[in-house]
Chains A and B, each alone.
Chain A
Amino acid sequence: MIEVQGLTKSYGNNLAINKLNFSVKKGEVVGFLGPNGAGKSTTMKIVTGFMAPTSGSVEVAGFDVFEKPIEVKKRIGYLPETPPLYMDMRIRKYLEYVAEIKMVDRASIQKNVAYALEKTDLSDVQNRLIGNLSKGFKQRVGIAQALVSDPEILILDEPTVGLDPNQVLEIRDLITGLKETHHTVLLSTHILSEVQATCERIIIINKGEIVAEDTLEGLNQKMSGTRQMKIRVRRPDGSFEGKIKGISGVKEVSSVGMGEFAIEIDRNDDVQEELAQMIIQSGAGLMEFRSDTKSLEDIFIQLTGKSQSEVNI
């Protein structure tokens, strides 16, 4: 649905994104993750046809963004970093206007507006002046605006910024719901739990370059060929540690005190099963046995922090 190839954008001498290649398939929800200034917004601005790249190409729904901008824009709902609102309009009128310029046919406008209002929980305030709304409400109007044309593709730049926790959950539900209705979604964020909650695939970008692109599990796996296990037993005897080390596939065992051990094993379910069996048979009194997977946060820091030190060298 979205094909990005060799996309480069420099602002003067500042290279914001450098030869990005990625694609988003129809019906996929992809998270665009990266630290501040990584180039997320820049990429989105180019994909939506807001601005031209320095070089590279973008195809959306089979149309080149720069040769067939109208075809592309008809199919995209876009929430920019700053919601594009008119302070002197009322919410409902504003959404009707957006629907009109997005070429929604007359018969569907009211239905679409009602849908967007409902999804963003704005029905009660639909006649308020946008200029008088709080930041979170403005953000919601921004999301409603992206939804109102019922586009095949949604491009959301930090959709939950400024929202209260309840709203954050509702917007995440909304995004999950969009997946069920086969919408294609590309959302940017630097909130890790957000991609964890909503995205099937993650693209991590740092300093204008893609540093990782995979599913969440895939990323976890790639990041370490090993798995961290945490166990706690009641009665570890002197030979306990040695017995664990004896299992093939166990890389390292370290006691972290009070009968707790951190064990690094090969990423292999057989090894994990064998380890569990061994502990129980040893009669040490197993209390806790869990895999301590690396969180996305670790991955993120590892990926984006590492290349930062590379740059510094």
Chain B
Amino acid sequence: MKSVWVIAKKEFRSFLSSPGFYVLAGVFLLILSFSYISMFQAFANAVQKGNFNPFNAPEMNLHNGVFMGFIHWINLLFIFVVPALMGRVFADEKRMRSFDLLMTSPLTSTQIVLGKFIGAVLAIWLMVLISSIYPISASLFAELQWGKLFTGYMGLFFVAAIYTAAGMFCSSITESVVLATIFGVILNLGFWIVAWMSVHAESELAMTIVEHISVGQHMELFNKGLLESASVVFCLSLIAFFCFLSERIVESARWRS
């Protein structure tokens, strides 16, 4: 356990000492600012004109009008930002041969993978936390629905962790940071395509299945303020699944070549 923590600390530090992290976090916050401002303006206009369509938006309020969209945006950006940050996690170690140090140290593959995952996910959660300055600053002049915001953010922490685990897996299968990033984006988009498929599914059964295995659907529930154990279990299993796959790949490096 101590070794996991040692690796996690090292990974977290190397995220925070890499210029790439700040560049991507900067771009992320910049895009987020624009979308936040425009959503806020749209909402303010709607309120002023008092022209809610009670059928389209039965519950038009600050949360549904701004923060649901805002959280969606973060999720959308993470589909690209997280793989870009995770690309180097294993690929660089292998390319630079520092991987040899991990493989010849008294560490199990599980410890290596868990350490890397924890360090990386903490760094990425830091971005989630920073994004919360928008709702927090809004709370200075408006009444927020803290409960829904809280579950929405829970959802963000979960999907960020899923993308982190998936990104780590993609990084473990190649020595190229660029390839790892591309694989990661494709995989994350795949999670969404599944959500999109659910709308077009033929049978009722297929629809329910697809809905249940879609990250997007579960995120939607969190965002609506629903904290369902099925969603939590789904997210945790997906994280565990990709950590497990990464562990298998790292372990197999001893047997390949």
C-alpha gap A73/B17 in the complex (Å) = 29
> Distance (Å) between the CB of A69 and the closest chain B CB?
8
Residue of A76, A80, A84 most packed against chain B (CB within 10 A): A84
**Across the interface, which residues of A come within 8 angstroms of B104, CB to CB?**
48-50, 73, 76, 78, 80
CB-based contact A102/B105 at 8 Å: yes
User: How many residues in B have their beta carbons less than 8 Å from beta carbons of A?
Assistant: 24
Pick the contact of A50: B3, B6, B96, B100 (CB < 8 A): B100
Tell me which of A93-101, A175-183, A224-232 binds B. Answer: A93-101
CB-based contact B98/A73 at 8 Å: no
C-alpha gap A49/B101 in the complex (Å) = 11
> Distance (Å) between the CB of B180 and the closest chain A CB?
18
B78-107 contacts to A, CB under 8 A, are: 96-107
Pick the contact of B254: A50, A74, A88 (CB < 8 A): A50
**Across the interface, which residues of A come within 8 angstroms of B17, CB to CB?**
88
CB-based contact B100/A84 at 8 Å: yes
Pick the contact of A74: B99, B106, B253 (CB < 8 A): B106
B93-123 contacts to A, CB under 8 A, are: 96-108
**Is the C-beta of B10 less than 8 angstroms from some C-beta in chain A?**
yes
C-alpha gap A78/B101 in the complex (Å) = 8
C-alpha gap A143/B18 in the complex (Å) = 26
CB-based contact B14/A51 at 8 Å: no
CB-based contact A73/B105 at 8 Å: yes
Closest 9 CB pairs of A and B: A84-B101, A73-B106, A82-B97, A74-B106, A70-B106, A100-B6, A84-B100, A84-B98, A101-B105
| Given contacts A70-B106, A73-B104, A73-B105, A84 and B6 within 8 Å (CB-CB) | no
CB-based contact A84/B97 at 8 Å: yes
> Distance (Å) between the CB of A48 and the closest chain B CB?
5
CB-based contact A86/B14 at 8 Å: yes
B99 nearest CB neighbor, chain A only = A84
C-alpha gap A118/B13 in the complex (Å) = 26
A75 nearest CB neighbor, chain B only = B106
20 more A-B residue pairs beyond the given contacts A50-B103, A84-B98, A97-B10, with a C-beta to C-beta distance below 8 A: A49-B103, A51-B254, A51-B257, A69-B106, A70-B106, A70-B107, A70-B108, A73-B104, A73-B106, A74-B106, A78-B104, A82-B100, A84-B97, A87-B96, A97-B6, A101-B3, A101-B102, A101-B106, A101-B107, A145-B101
Count of A-B contacts judged by CB separation below 8 Å: 70
Say what secondary structure dominates the interface of chain A: loop
**Across the interface, which residues of B come within 8 angstroms of A85, CB to CB?**
96, 98
C-alpha gap A52/B255 in the complex (Å) = 5
On B, residues with C-beta under 8 Å from A are 3, 6-7, 10, 14, 17-18, 96-108, 253-255, 257
Residue of B7, B100, B101, B255 most packed against chain A (CB within 10 A): B101
Residue pairs across A and B with Cβ atoms less than 8 A apart, 30 shown, are A49-B104, A50-B104, A51-B253, A52-B254, A69-B106, A70-B107, A70-B108, A73-B104, A76-B104, A78-B100, A80-B100, A80-B104, A82-B97, A83-B97, A85-B96, A85-B98, A88-B14, A88-B17, A97-B10, A100-B3, A101-B3, A101-B6, A101-B7, A101-B101, A101-B102, A101-B105, A101-B107, A102-B105, A102-B106, A103-B106
**Across the interface, which residues of B come within 8 angstroms of A98, CB to CB?**
101, 105
**Across the interface, which residues of B come within 8 angstroms of A78, CB to CB?**
100, 104
C-alpha gap A11/B102 in the complex (Å) = 22
C-alpha gap A308/B256 in the complex (Å) = 29
> Distance (Å) between the CB of A253 and the closest chain B CB?
56
A80 nearest CB neighbor, chain B only = B100
**Across the interface, which residues of B come within 8 angstroms of A100, CB to CB?**
3, 6
> Distance (Å) between the CB of A187 and the closest chain B CB?
16
**Across the interface, which residues of B come within 8 angstroms of A51, CB to CB?**
103, 253-255, 257
> Distance (Å) between the CB of B138 and the closest chain A CB?
37
| Given contacts A49-B103, A73-B106, A80 and B97 within 8 Å (CB-CB) | yes
> Distance (Å) between the CB of A263 and the closest chain B CB?
52
> Distance (Å) between the CB of B253 and the closest chain A CB?
8
A58-72 contacts to B, CB under 8 A, are: 69-71
CB-based contact A86/B98 at 8 Å: yes
**Across the interface, which residues of A come within 8 angstroms of B105, CB to CB?**
73, 98, 101-102
**Across the interface, which residues of B come within 8 angstroms of A74, CB to CB?**
106
**Across the interface, which residues of A come within 8 angstroms of B3, CB to CB?**
100-101, 103
Pick the contact of A88: B18, B97, B99, B257 (CB < 8 A): B18
A77 nearest CB neighbor, chain B only = B104
**Across the interface, which residues of B come within 8 angstroms of A49, CB to CB?**
103-104, 254
> Distance (Å) between the CB of B122 and the closest chain A CB?
17
